[in-house]
Structure 1
Amino acid sequence: MRLAVYLTLCCCAAALQEDKQYWFNAADRELASALKWKLNEGLAKNVIVFIGDGMGPNSVTAARIYKGNGNEQEKLTFDEFPHIGMLKTYCSDKQVPDSASTATALLCGVKTNYRVAGVDANVKRHDCEASLNPKFWTQSILQWAQEAGKDTGFVTTTRVTHATPSALYAHSPERSWECEATMPPEASHCKDIARQLIEDEPGKSIKVIMGGGRQCLVSNSTGTSTDPIDTWACSSEDGRDLIRTWKEDKISRKFVSQVVQTSEELENVDVEKTDYLLGIFANGHLPYEHDRNKGPNGPPSLQNMTSTAIKILQKNPKGYVLVVEGGLIDVAHHRGLARHALNEIKEMDAAVRVAVDSTGVQSDTLIIVTSDHTHTLSISGYPERGASIVGLAGNSKIDKIPYTSLNYATGDMYAFKYTINEKNKVVRQNPLQEDYTSFEYHQQAAILTDEALHGGGDVAVYAIGPMAHLFQSTHEQTYVAHVVGYAAKIGPYSYKNHHNQGACSHMSLLLYVILIIINIF
């Protein structure tokens, strides 16, 4: 018996030895898998766009290792998508963007200025007057889809009025104008983002809306120990209850609608009989997945929200467009909480798996996974293979103090871990003085700022389904919306527009021939 166990262990050890033959065999398997893929040039009846807010390439690498508990060969669901490109993330007036400007690029196909949403570069930050000009408004992929008769939805782990989702339905010169309380008196004739979502098109025709942000929708909202008021965000004081307004609108239009506020209520939604669903699960952002109350009275997970959204939207025979944001990746990075950020990517990856399983590979559904911008997270040398990605990389050869594998270029006072000792020398804090593997550990930062700031690097875009092969190089971020439009034949790429463009081309050719004949004779 002992001999059999010994031989088994030896065989396993030999099989795991990463010699030359191991890598040749691995390459053969990858080649065989790649050669099986055929281009899908069909029509995208449905489109699902996943946005990992702040999920740069280093975040993806670290999350992959985190998911595999130190296994560098682990794969995220979207790692296995057959088509990948890179996106340039600068905005109209900054090399390093914010999420409102990048969401406008990703979801409307137009680059714009820092901290504005749903308008083009003619609208400067805080310019209420310019934002009222419809000539400067952008249309999102949800508006294109609605005009084509498709159903639409978005789910997010942030407030539903936050920067990324706001570009889907609002036209605002300032992303923080989520409710009236943060707007200056001179902008009183502009609508806040929450009202635009509930009162205007395309917001009022979005079939599924899920996330946080109750305090932006309902005036004088109160907090609890488990769902406090978000002091970073707007809190409405104008007496409006926009959730009630949403419900009354759906009743007046004779639609079956539901408002849900807990995981249990979401689970009990009759998707077959529900036309419109509004899920508002927190005053501010939803809690991190690690901290989430997973009982019936807590908020749902991103994968549960995604699953329900697909079930409701897929009833439309003309198809749907759904946007899913893993927004707390960015929130965690801003706080310098790398482990929370990686765990949020892992949760978004589970939501991607739900989408793939619900729609099938190479189907009539185009699935895109990307990010709006990077963060300054770095993976430093030289941890051993199989080491925890939230562990130590080694000791500095200069100060002899250990350092973690993950660090940030910028960070707040909790991450800027330098002190001056009795010899008046700057000393870096030893990570061994804290639990550096915990969710609440702030990775060390090189430069003290108010928070960890965005990075300006390119982000990856992963795609599978109809026209996914259109992502094949380094693209402008605006390209994503145009691929969605082209693949689904919506917006500027609708059949009608294509027909007119073809007719114009034929007319131009005819005129050209006539001119040649006239010149000859």
Structure 2
Amino acid sequence: MHSWSVVVFLSIFCITTCSLQTDQKYWKSLAEKELEEALQVKFNLRTAKNVILFVGDGMGPNTITAARIYRGGESHRLAFEKFPHVGLLKTYSADKMVPDSACSATALFSGIKANLGTLGVDATVPENNCEMSLNKEAWVDSLAAYALKAGKSSGLVTTMRVTHATPAPLYAHSASRSWECEANMPANAKQCKDIARQLIEDWPGRDLHVVLGGGRQVLVSNSTGTPDDPISAWSCYRQDGRDLIDVYKRDKEERNLKYQIVSNTGELQNIKDDIDYLFGIFANEHLQYEFERNKNPEGQPSISEMTKAAIKVLSKNTKGYFLMVEGGKIDMAHHRGRAKTAVDETVAMERAVRAAVDITSDEDTLVIVTSDHTHTLTINGYPERGSSVFGIARESPFDHINYTTLSYGTGGPGSFQYDIKTVDNETKAVRREPSKEDTESFFYEQIAAIPLDENSHGGGDVAVYAKGPHSHLFHSVHEQHYVFQAIAYAAKIGPYSKGYTTEVNIILLTFALLFFKLIK
């Protein structure tokens, strides 16, 4: 080998290995820093004036790990991974081992586990049963509703349709997540109101101070699309003649409320200072993925931009606010089997978390980051430390074909990466060689063990990260609906809006015991 070739080889080798610290001093320093952080943790027993709940839809632990590596390497920590309190949530629904977003969001926001596909109702309502969903005793109130009852402001931000499965349980009660507009409702469900109408016409939807996301074709009858924002056949398309955005506008004007309706990034960045209600619909369907988003003023805003605008409006209320922010496109990318896009959407939501933390205070704002369910994403052995998480892990000693670091348990047709070949006069399904494909592409679909119409949800536990008042309540393995209880307690809303807090009761009991001891 020529001397210059040796130099080039060693240079490349050092780029991938020498830069990675592995000596004893490095590992000790890493752990000592974590210990120092842990020793500084103190319980914040103040009441949470404000609550911001981030939901990374489909953001399971493996998605977070992949996002961490993608963002800064194996030793990196995402913004919310630096939060002082962490727990796990069990995600099963009332009737299924593995949930969907509608029933899991109902558990998170209302403290009651529901059946798959239903939202804002308890488990007495079977999926698609309109008649049973009309029983108001089966309805469950959300954190957004309880915040409004306490005089606080409430709002939602989502990269999905504002009527989709995760945001809808904040304001709607439905036997089917699919009933977003009247066109998707069967004949035997005509007496039930679609989710979009519940958002605009009913309480608490009509009184939400911030609503930001997609879904114009669900809200406005016979909406027209553009080449950049076409009508989608995947979601409901309203055809009953209603313009619910106009209904929203007339409602606010009749009540003399200060509001603003926006439809692109430029308008969102220039909202008026004196408004109390902000309504932004930026797409006919879901918002675009972050990597393909038009970042010009006429384009769609990022989840960070929407989050900052929401906090600006909500923070005007001296009594505080509740805000739910959903990174919904994480889930959409996983359903398509596109791991890099899902991970990139996770990083986009992390930026929104950072933005929220930067403009709020730990003194009075409880910030929580969690997920509604996992996906079947796996991280395979044994790629080199420092290599791309979207690259090749190694060659299989069984079939001598490379495999990628990331793969799925289930996936759509694109994940069935096998070719039918004749080998030794025998017809076999042979894995395609991933090193011959662009595994770094946002459109690359990782291989899956079981081909379905699309990637399914997973049933594993999800992590919950918290900082701010009463964030220490997240400390163990919890039921998913415990999140509602912990937030309600921290903010003193809903079931904890009256009476003394536990801390106050302990103090009073202590004084009482001391008093009786003295008089003895």
Structure 1 residue 459: Cα displacement: 0.2
Query: Is the contact made by 2:392 and 2:435 (CA closer than 8 Å) also made in structure 1?
Result: no
| 1:64 matches 2:65 | no
Which residue in 1 is equivalent to 2:28?
Answer: 24
Counterpart code for 2:372 = D
Q: Would you identify which runs of 4 or more consecutive aligned residues in structure 1 move more than 4 Å?
A: 13-16, 496-499
Which residue in 1 is equivalent to 2:518?
Answer: none
Q: Residues 16-415 of structure 1 correspond to what in structure 2 (within 5 A)? A: 17-68=21-72, 71-270=73-272, 272-360=273-361, 362-415=362-415
Cα separation, 2, equivalents of 1:349 and 1:400:
38
Structure 1 residue 17: Cα displacement: 3.6
- Per-residue Cα deviation, 1:387-429 (whole angstroms, up to 9, x for no partner): 0011110111111111110100111111111222124111111
Query: Is the contact made by 1:81 and 1:463 (CA closer than 8 Å) also made in structure 2?
Result: yes
Cα separation, 1, equivalents of 2:251 and 2:399:
64
Cα separation, 2, equivalents of 1:315 and 1:401:
59
SS in 1 for 2:359: helix
Structure 1 residue 433: Cα displacement: 3.1
Instruction: Show structure 1 runs of 5+ residues with no match.
Output: 1-9, 507-521
Instruction: Show structure 2 runs of 5+ residues with no match.
Output: 1-13, 510-520
Structure 1 residue 37: Cα displacement: 1.8
Question: Structure 1 residues 157 and 14 mapped into 2: Cα distance closer, same or farther (>3 Å)?
Answer: closer
Counterpart code for 2:39 = L
SS in 1 for 2:167: helix
Superposed CA RMSD in Å reads 1.7
| 1:421 matches 2:421 | yes
Structure 1 residue 30: Cα displacement: 1.3
Cα separation, 2, equivalents of 1:468 and 1:209:
26
- Per-residue Cα deviation, 1:461-510 (whole angstroms, up to 9, x for no partner): 000000000011100000001111000000001025869x98xxx9xxxx
Counterpart code for 1:366 = L
Cα separation, 2, equivalents of 1:371 and 1:24:
32
Query: Is the contact made by 2:382 and 2:394 (CA closer than 8 Å) also made in structure 1?
Result: yes
Query: Is the contact made by 2:20 and 2:386 (CA closer than 8 Å) also made in structure 1?
Result: no
Query: Is the contact made by 2:69 and 2:389 (CA closer than 8 Å) also made in structure 1?
Result: yes
Work out which of the residue numbers 459, 462, 467 in structure 2 matches 1:456.
459
Work out which of the residue numbers 474, 479, 482 in structure 2 matches 1:476.
479
Cα separation, 2, equivalents of 1:126 and 1:319:
37
Structure 1 residue 73: Cα displacement: 1.1
Structure 1 residue 75: Cα displacement: 1.2
Q: TM-score, normalised by structure 2?
A: 0.92
Which residue in 2 is equivalent to 1:447?
Answer: 450
Query: Is the contact made by 1:51 and 1:370 (CA closer than 8 Å) also made in structure 2?
Result: yes
Structure 1 residue 305: Cα displacement: 0.2
- Per-residue Cα deviation, 1:333-372 (whole angstroms, up to 9, x for no partner): 0000101100000000000001100113x32000000000
Counterpart code for 1:241 = D
Cα separation, 2, equivalents of 1:149 and 1:497:
19
Counterpart code for 2:311 = I
Cα separation, 1, equivalents of 2:299 and 2:168:
25
Counterpart code for 2:438 = D
Which residue in 1 is equivalent to 2:490?
Answer: 487
SS in 2 for 1:462: strand
Question: Structure 1 residues 333 and 447 mapped into 2: Cα distance closer, same or farther (>3 Å)?
Answer: same
Cα separation, 1, equivalents of 2:337 and 2:114:
27
Query: Is the contact made by 1:142 and 1:321 (CA closer than 8 Å) also made in structure 2?
Result: yes
Query: Is the contact made by 1:230 and 1:285 (CA closer than 8 Å) also made in structure 2?
Result: no
Cα separation, 1, equivalents of 2:98 and 2:386:
33
Query: Is the contact made by 1:153 and 1:321 (CA closer than 8 Å) also made in structure 2?
Result: yes
Which residue in 2 is equivalent to 1:6?
Answer: none
Which residue in 2 is equivalent to 1:435?
Answer: 438
How many pairs align?
488
